[in-house]
Chains A and B, each alone.
Chain A
């Protein structure tokens, strides 16, 4: 699921309090709040190929990560996709 996704380059990751942040899309004005795990996922998304890779990054960054983390990441990424904060890579036609 993750390999063909790319973060929307116009979206701003705006850290506000501690490591909590807002993902702000200036083209729509939409802003989505996210916790520190979401921030980590966002920052790693373009470098990771699979959900498992993302889960590994999260496990390496936080203590007491729940077993369901990969499902949580999948839901989070799906939400980002639905909101246009990430998009699918489209290969150019030859």
Chain B
């Protein structure tokens, strides 16, 4: 954890953000159980979290409330959501309450029967399976022996049932040098339309294994170069909202803007790096509302005890997050003299919390100036593509 200066950041006197009546979607940790213990998992090893599951009835009751409020999408994660013995019943509850859903999984527990069930609902936007390499050596290094084979079998089972599969590759020390092989495997051997990338972050279990997992500046530079090269070879098939590819795009834009003496980029120069809290909320496996699945410490209430709409509209914690975009980065000592400050967003509040102890500061992990000072390189040209919605082509949201 890095040091934190004692100061109170200023908040620009802008109009308070308008808040929609209810969240459009929720990220739900259906279970605290998982058959794997991935060394970089954000979910496990959070000291304050009670790792317990709710009974079926509690979730079904909550899904009724979500349906009444017009929630559109639920993302079901965990733990490993396919370990819920009542998964079919829970999904039936989601369908009956006129919502869509997607699942985040390690792929190991997906049976043909469950895959057929998901397809038959007509409401499954996608199942995202984590695959960290093109072979067992790269994948299993952080996820455990045998997990690659089972993940791939899970993907093939979903493909046979005609369920949309999205794959997420988390980049770390053990697979960063093998991104070409990984890409070929996913796009050519498995025939996926695309995949998304991020990188291991200093969250959850990763905090205990960070030295063996987190990318060095040199490895991060290498990952950016490889991904930009691959993106050119496979246009519009590799996406990222975080991690080296997203950083390559954003940092290239910032470097170019500064070199050109460009005016501030609209929406930047403040803590605007995360907007999830404008449309989404998360629920832990023990039923506690949280701002985001990566921010598990600060609970906002409990499902079926605190009304979702009340929490959504009245939580002071959410109000703080919704005001982040009014906090100028220049008020932070580490940003005050930075030549990139007008082009920066401060990035992820969860990483800011884990690295500095305060979510309402810029994340040091995302500091371009620091990265360059430490010898980091950014690819000269970056393919500018719209961020694809995780290889999920059926899902549309209102404009």
Residue of A22, A24, A30, A32 most packed against chain B (CB within 10 A): A24
Q: A12-B70, A26-B123 are in contact. Are A17 and B397 (CB under 8 A)?
A: no
| B394 at interface by CB-CB < 8 Å | yes
Interface residues of B in 7-59 (CB under 8 A from A): 18, 20-22, 24
Contact indicator per residue, chain B 377-399, by CB within 8 Å of chain A (1) or not (0): 00000000000000000111111
Count contacts between A and B, CB distance < 8 Å.
48
Interface size band for B: 20 to 34
Chain A proximity of B118: nearest CB distance (Å): 14
A29 within 8 A of partner (CB) = yes
Question: Given contacts A14-B70, A15-B21, A15-B70, are A29 and B99 in contact (CB under 8 A)?
Answer: no
Instruction: State how many angstroms separate the Cβ of A58 from the closest Cβ of chain B.
Output: 22
**Contact indicator B99/A22 (Cβ below 8 Å):** no
Whether A29 pairs with B398 at a CB distance below 8 angstroms is: no
Q: Chain B's interface: helix, strand, loop or mixed, by majority?
A: loop
- What 0/1 readout, one digit per residue, does chain A (1-30) give for beta carbons within 8 Å of chain B? 000000000111111110000101011111
User: Of B18, B70, B122, which contacts A24 at CB under 8 A?
Assistant: B70
The residue in A14, A22, A26, A30 that gathers the most chain B C-beta atoms within 10 A of its C-beta is A26
B239 at the interface (CB under 8 A from A): no
User: Separation in Å of the A70 CB from the closest CB of chain B?
Assistant: 26
Contact residues of B between 348 and 399, Cβ < 8 Å to A: 394-399
- Given known A-B contacts A16-B21, A26-B123, A32 and B72 have beta carbons under 8 A apart: no
- List of A residues within 8 angstroms of B100 by Cβ: 26, 29
B128 is an interface residue with CB less than 8 A from chain A = no
Closest to B392 in A: A29
Interface residues on A, range: 10 to 19
The reply on B125 being an interface residue by CB < 8 A is yes
Q: Which residues of A contact B398 (CB under 8 A)?
A: 22, 24, 31-33
B156 part of interface (Cβ distance < 8 Å) = no
| B72 contacts A14, C-beta separation under 8 Å | yes
Question: In the complex the two chains form, what is the Cα distance from A13 to B399 in whole Å?
Answer: 16
> Quick check: B72 and A24 within 8 Å, CB to CB?
yes
Identify which of A10, A11, A22, A33 gathers the most chain B CB atoms within 10 Å of its CB: A22
List residues of chain B with CB under 8 Å of any chain A CB: 18, 20-22, 24, 67, 70, 72, 95, 98-100, 122-123, 125, 394-399
**Other than the known A17-B21, A22-B398, A29-B100, what 7 A-B pairs have Cβ atoms closer than 8 Å?**
A14-B22, A22-B72, A26-B72, A29-B125, A31-B72, A31-B396, A31-B398
